[in-house]
Every structure is written in structure tokens, then in C-alpha cells.
Amino acid sequence: MEPNHNVVKDIQIAYIGGGSRGWAWGLMSDLAQEGQLSGTVKLYDLNYDAANTNAVIGNRLSERSDAAGKWKYEAVPSLKEALTGSDFVIISILPGSFQEMHSDVHLPEEYGIYQSVGDTVGPGGAIRALRTIPIYVELAKSIRTYAPDSWIINYTNPMTLCTRTLYEVFPEIKAIGCCHEVFGTQKLLASMLDEMANIPNVNRRDIKVNVLGINHFTWLDQASYQGMDLFPMYREFAHRHSKDGFEGSEEGHWMNNHFASAERVKFDLFRKFGLIAAAGDRHLAEFMPHSWYLKNPETVHEWKFSLTKVDWRKQNQRDLIAKSARLAQGEEEFAIRPTGEEGIDMVKALLGLGDIVTNVNMPNRGQMGNTPLGAVVETNAIFGRDSVKPIISGELPPEINSLVQRHIWNQETILQASLNKDKDKAFRAFVSDPLVNISPEQARELFERMLDNTKSFLPEWK
């Protein structure tokens, strides 16, 4: 971001999923640290009380002397009210409840299918998509009606299909999908520079990368620091840590942190394919054949990452609800700290406060070669005033591209199945996923059971 000391006031942000105790608080923290912006954030959530509690928390934060950015937070009862007059729309929702997520993640385990996340691909990702797409169809229609000129920033998973649905329904929409997984890989490269070249404290933003792929299955074919090609060093780094992994100062952290890993999957994929896999191990593993990294819990343990249990998410939610009450009542002070996300930097760039280059999910208009036009891909893009221009990023080598294309076409099939309420088409995508390593008969049984567990979100399906 280039320095710019202008101040933009009266920005209108609609936050869809405004009762969130994660992303919403992160947005508040980042806005509080940004003195060049101010305005109103309208919080809309199916749980109005949760959104209203967040409004109280946000307004308390904005009143503090250490909050550089001054914002008014307002819970609103309707999507129309949230969207009308908005300059930016941020979407971060949980499609369904943890009950549906429990089925997505854990029912396949009865059939020997293990998923580390279950929100993007695999059987869990497919079923989650089927209940998410109808929600995004309605969001796209509402945006077209009430906020056609606003910029849409999506954080919800499955990222690819959420973004793809917005463009399918409203082709002129100005929407981007944002994900921080590539940032984690840049941080890993910074740690590598410290260990291998004795260059400490490198800011991950100073590591320049070329991004190719789809969300959670991204790859780097270029990486440099101050003109230094990092691939030769990474080759040595991956070889050095391929057996035991790399965790820096947090050795063993992956065993008690559901979101951590020792990067062994990432190193293994580099040694197999020669490019840097640029997502967390938990996500990368789900795109590969089940026998590679997710054969069973013992295999997962050997690769030093975790199966994120939904029971943990439920307990975490209870803890966050309790924290929410404390924050709203002033019993606990909101901690202002950087999230590491780039959403506010994107907003500033779109308002003309300096250009940035970062990775985003957008329909392929030629920025990624040997890939269907219109399919949502993740590459770098240049952000400027009211403009996001994807960068021509080249193409993946055939051996990686074949893996990526399988998922692209599966996701396209799921989209069409959802739009047409075609259960047979949905099953074809489900059974074609590389994690579904069971007989077609077992796959059909599992599919029907999982679909039944999410049927309340598919009211028009037969």
C-alpha cells in the first residue's frame, strides 16, 4: 500500500453475518486501527440479538481514545436495510448450524472417509455447497436490487462456489473472494529466510509470489525476496524438514491447535510436483487422493496436522458467546490487534487510497491459462480506485493442472445441480471426489444420508 494521508468519511459497510464472534470482531479491530476511514457498519444476521450485541461491542470500541478509526455500528433487521446505500458488502456467514456441519465432517467417518476441515471439497464440502448456493442466489438477487454498484468481499466457504454463484446470478457484480491461506505460506518463506539465510524478521508482504489455482488448492510458481529467487532455498528447506516437519518456535503446536501443522504435506507436495503448495496442510490434504494424507487418523498424525472435530467448534462457540456478553457489558476490554487480513487494505485501495497487489478469487477471464473461462480461480490482482484487475498469471504444469481441473469441474457440476435441484447430478460430483474412496453403492448411501441431514436447507428438492 502506497502512503496516502487522505481521509475518507461516511463509508457505508454492510456486514452480512454480523453476529459473528470471529470475523466481525476481526473487522472491528482492523477498522479501529485505520485512521483514514470512518463511517457506518450495518450488521445483519439471522440472529438479530447476536448482531445487536456486536453493535454494542463495536460502538464501545469506537469510543475508546486508542481507536484511530471511528465507526458507528448498527444492527439492522433486514437484508434490504443492510444493503441499501452500501459502498461495501462483507459476507461472512455460517451456512447452516454446527448440527449440519457435524454431519458433513463426521458421518463420512462411518465409511472410512476422514476430512480435516470438510468445508471446501470432499463429501462435506459438496453437501455444505448444496445448502450454501441457494443462500448466495438470494444474496446475489438482493445485491442486484439494493446495492448493484457496491463492492462485495466474501469470506464464506466454500469460497469458490460462493463467489461463482454471485457471478452466475448477477454477472455484473463487483465481487471478490478473500482468503488468507497464501499469507501463511509467505510467513513460512519468511521463517525459511531466517533459518537458511540468517535474514530475520522478514515481513511476509515483502515476499513476492505468483499465485495460481483455486481456493485452498493454490500454488506458487514464483517466489522472491528483494530479487532473490527463493525456489532453490525452498528445495533445500523442504528436503531438510520433510521427515519431521517445520514449526519454528512452536514445536509440537499442531497437536493442541486444530489449525496448526508441521507443513509436512506442503513439503511433500513440493517434492512430488516442484511447485510450492500455498495453503494450509489441512486444506491441501483434502484435494488429494484419500490414501495420501487422510487414510485414517493414524496417517493424519504421521503427517502432523489435525482433524478439526466439530465438537471442538461447538465448545469454542460457547466460549465466544460468553466472551461476547463480557465485551458488551464492559467486563472485558476488547483487544485491538492486527488480524493479518487485507480486507481493509482492499477497501482503502478501492477508495483510491493507494494501490495494492494481493491474491483474490474471481472468475477466470484469462488470468489463468488452460482453465475454463468463467470458473472462479485464485490469482493475484491489482486493486486501485474502484478497480480490481486480475494479473495474467500463466498456467499450472499439466500434472498439477489435472488435479485442479478435476475439482473445478466437480464444483461446476455442484453449482448446476444446485441451481436445477438435480440430485443425480449432485451425486455424480459427490462420487467423483478423490476422497470418496468407497463403492458407488456405499457412496450413494452416504450421499442420501448426508443430504437428508441438510434437507431443511433444500426445501424445493424432491
**Helices assigned H by DSSP within 170-296:** 181-197, 231-241, 264-273, 281-286, 290-293
d(CA 165, CA 415): 7
> Which strand (E) or helix (H) includes residue 83?
helix 79-83
Q: How far apart are CA 64 and CA 325, in angstroms?
A: 18
Q: Which of 36, 75, 69, 35 lies closest to 55 in space, CA to CA?
A: 75
User: Where do the DSSP E strands lie in 368-429?
Assistant: 376-384, 387-390
Q: Among 381, 386, 382, which Cα is nearest to 352's?
A: 386
- Note the residue count of the chain: 462
Counting Cα atoms < 13 Å in the Cβ hemisphere of 221 gives: 13
How many angstroms separate the Cα of 287 from the Cα of each of 41, 282, 361, 371, 406? Answer: 36, 10, 17, 17, 10
Host H or E run for residue 216: none
Asked if 430 contacts 447 with a C-beta cutoff of 8 angstroms, the reply is yes
Give, for 417, the enclosing helix (H) or strand (E).
helix 398-420
Catalytic member of 106, 180, 253, 258? 180
Residue by residue, DSSP assigns 299-324 as HHHHTT-----HHHHHHHHHHHHHHH
Contact 11, 38 (CB under 8 A): yes
Known catalytic membership, residue 180: yes
Those residues whose C-beta lies under 8 Å from the C-beta of residue 80, and which sit 6 or more positions away, are 142, 146
Cβ atoms of residues 63 and 72 within 8 Å: no
- Could you give the residue ranges of the DSSP H alpha helices within 109-229? 122-146, 159-169, 181-197
Q: How far apart are CA 360 and CA 153, in angstroms?
A: 10
User: Strand 151-154's sheet: what is its strand order?
Assistant: 71-75, 37-44, 8-16, 88-91, 151-154, 174-177, 356-363, 376-384, 387-390
Interhelix angle for 264-273 vs 231-241, to 10°?
120
Q: Could you give the residue numbers annotated as active site?
A: 180
